[in-house]
Every structure is written in structure tokens, then in C-alpha cells.
Amino acid sequence: MKDLARLFASWPPREERKKDLDTWDLTLRCDHVVPHIQHREHSYVSTRVVDCPACGERRGVVSSERVGSAYQDDGTVLNRAEADRERLAQELTAAEAKLARQQKSAAATQRRIAKIQEELSSES
């Protein structure tokens, strides 16, 4: 019993575990879209049917789209607009980093071209 208590005591607190959850939008057979929360290590939603709150029926899942983090750092639920903003901010950061790498590569290529042109003009 003490081992079990020690095991549970070693788990991170519930609020800490919330940071690892993502929200997904599930499109159902009835064309309604419902939110679904699961751990972010999953790359897809494995559930095939869910209860549709609009219809009051169990409906099949047609498609799923990861929206982003389900909770803010303080443990409060993110709404759709906040989740979209967070996702876009992450995409923007990644795109800016990619652009910086490409600009660095382009600058190196320009220096190489200038050096080759200089060598060509000095041989003439």
C-alpha cells in the first residue's frame, strides 16, 4: 500500500498534466463540429463515434483537426479563438526562423557569386 501511495505521490499534479493536453475539432456525420481533448503525444484521434450535443445522438467521426493546446499555463481552458491565436503564433515563429535560415543561405550564396565574379574580372 505504501508503494502505491508513493507511486501516486510521484505523479505531477493535475494542473501540471493539463499542459500536455490538446484540443481537436471533430467533424461528425451530422456535419456538427465538436471539441475533443486528448494528450498531445497522439498524432490522431482514435475515437470513431462521439455524442453530438447538438443532435443528442451518437455520431461517427468524419474528420479531425488538431486545434492546439487545450489549457493555458495557468490551467484555465483555452477557447477556440485563443487556441487559434496560439497555433498561429507558433506557425509564425517557425516561419520566421525558416526565413532567417533562408536569408542567411542567400547571403552566403551572394558572397560566393561576388567572389567568383571578382576572380573572373581579375583574370581578364
| CB of 61 closer than 8 Å to CB of 44 | no
Is pLDDT at 9 greater than 80 in this prediction? no
Query: How far is CA 119 from its chain centroid?
Result: 49
Can you read off the three cell numbers belonging to residue 92?
509564425
More confident residue, 23 or 106: 106
| Distance in angstroms (rounded) separating the CA atoms of residues 35 and 52 | 10
Spatial CB neighbours of 65, under 8 Å, sequence gap ≥ 6: 24, 25, 27
Is pLDDT at 43 greater than 90 in this prediction? no
| Distance in angstroms (rounded) separating the CA atoms of residues 124 and 121 | 5
The string of pLDDT tens digits covering residues 47-70 is 899 999 888 899 999 998 888 776
Q: Can you give the pTM of this predicted structure? A: 0.49
